[in-house]
Amino acid sequence: MARRKHRTALLDPPPSPPVRQGMLSPRRTVPASIARPEYALTGQPSTRAGRAVRTPDEIERMRVAGRIAAEVLIEVGKAVAPGVTTDELDRVGHEACIERGAYPSPLNYRGFPKSLCTSVNEVICHGIPDSRKLLDGDVVNVDVTAFIEGVHGDTNATFLVGDVDEASKDLIRATRQAMHAGIATVRPGSKVNDIGRAIEASVKGGTYGVVQEFIGHGIGDQFHTSLQIPHYYDPRHRTVIEEGMTFTIEPMITIGSPELYVWDDDWTAVTISGQRCAQFEHTLLVTSTGVEILTLPDGTPPAEELFAV
């Protein structure tokens, strides 16, 4: 597929120097009393075929996992500030998961060394928390997944660090709006590619790009199932959405071109242009009449609202 052209030549230079890799602290431990996913020791998730449609019992357990993930994301969001390291954000998220009896799903998933992902500025996704301090004017996406009662709940949001430029604020607003445009299409009988069509339409006409290399995914007793949810329109993705399906919608939107490369750590994806990226994510359940967001806290707005730009 030919890539779309992006008006990168019209953009101002990035508002901050490139993100540099810091030092990693030792891997955090999880009490033996907390149930672990299948990959916790080996780093290798199961290759068994996963189901797209959940049972009523699984759905109830996913509501618990989703609520916990949402609460943890809020706790980490409260800790975002200039001078705080991304490793400190990882500590906050790790301990918040443990306090709620949940295992932080990213920990040792395919060897990932930390308990959540922190993607700063031009980092698109899968940033590894380290000794780098957040700087005034940064933006940081925090991606949290919790495993409890045999299922996962996955959510993320992009946060401001101190005084942030207007272009970055506009990007964050556009990305959150794009996620909700995709969510609004979900109902029994609609197609997976309706989601990507709506996301692309939401950002059409601006200097934004939609990342195609990383997509939403089915989720349940497995962190990632074979169900794929692209955030761009592809006529080949004609899977019909059914009641009881659970999956994530998590668009990554860039200023300018979404072209990317991956650091030598084999995880950290960054924009080639150095321009910034934002992302928001919820885990969703397809109901008989539409969609239910599973990654919502109890009694308070979610992080995307609490920390809205």
Domain-embedded: residue 18: no
Q: Which residues contact 278 (CB under 8 A, 6 or more apart)?
A: 139, 141, 158, 168, 171, 172, 174, 175, 176, 252, 253
Q: What is the dihedral of CA 287, 293, 296, 298, to 10 degrees?
A: -20
Q: Which residues contact 18 (CB under 8 A, 6 or more apart)?
A: 122, 274
Domain-embedded: residue 19: no
DSSP calls for 14-37: PSSPPP---PPPPPPP--TTS---
DSSP state of 289: S
What span, in angstroms and rounded, lies between the C-alpha atoms of 10 and 223? 39
| Number of structural domains the chain divides into | 1
What span, in angstroms and rounded, lies between the C-alpha atoms of 105 and 107? 6
Distances (CA, A) of 89 to 73, 98, 145, 203: 10, 14, 14, 30
Domain-embedded: residue 263: yes
| 270: containing domain | 51-306
Tell me the pLDDT of the chain (309 aa) as tens digits.
333 444 444 688 888 899 999 999 999 999 999 999 999 999 999 888 778 999 999 999 999 999 999 999 999 999 999 999 999 999 999 999 999 999 999 999 999 999 999 999 999 999 999 999 999 999 999 999 999 999 999 999 999 999 999 999 999 999 999 999 999 999 999 999 999 999 999 999 889 999 999 999 999 999 999 999 999 999 999 999 999 999 999 999 999 999 999 999 999 999 999 999 999 999 999 999 999 999 999 999 999 999 999
Domain-embedded: residue 262: yes
Domain-embedded: residue 4: no
Distances (CA, A) of 244 to 6, 49, 154: 38, 17, 17
CATH number at residue 96: 3.90.230.10
What span, in angstroms and rounded, lies between the C-alpha atoms of 125 and 35? 27
Domain-embedded: residue 35: no
Domain-embedded: residue 7: no
